[in-house]
Amino acid sequence: MDVYHKILTKIYEVTGGKDNVEVDLNDLLKQEGFFSNIDNISLHLTTESWVAETPRPRVVKLTHWGAAEAKRVLSNSPDTVRELTKDANRLLADSRELIIMLEEFAVSPSGVNFKTIEKRFADLMVIFERIKGNI
């Protein structure tokens, strides 16, 4: 977990996930030992829309996006959209390789080529099942 997510989860814990509770970043970052980077951390949290600034300097409120991100990080669940995209791209690349292997097999059929194709099919099925489980 990077520093930004660590601070975000601390804000989430302090506020109880509520967006109407204010948190003083000065105090929080002193407790966590990151006070020297307060400007950078504050800017990142605000830029990501995880926190909203208040009229008081360096006092923030958690946003619903921040609460959702903190919950995701705390539950340690993977980002399913990112995983699906990654698996879909892998399936596409491996399928293209399979087509090349099939063309080579059509030109010169052999047991070695067939074993390679068989393994590629098994690999594709593993990826396919992973995608199927995430949809």
Each residue's pLDDT tens digit, 84-104: 888 999 999 999 999 999 999
96, 103 contact by CB (below 8 A) = no
Beta-carbon contacts of residue 127 (< 8 Å; ≥ 6 apart):
87, 90, 91, 94
Q: Taking the model in full, what pTM does it have?
A: 0.56
> In the chain, where do the E strands start and end?
22-24, 51-53, 59-62
The CATH code belonging to domain 3-75 is 1.10.10
- Phi/psi for 133 (5° steps) reads -70, -20
pLDDT for 44: 93
Q: How many angstroms from the chain centroid is the CA of residue 100?
A: 33
pLDDT, mean of residues 33-45: 91
Domain boundaries, the chain: 3-75, 80-134
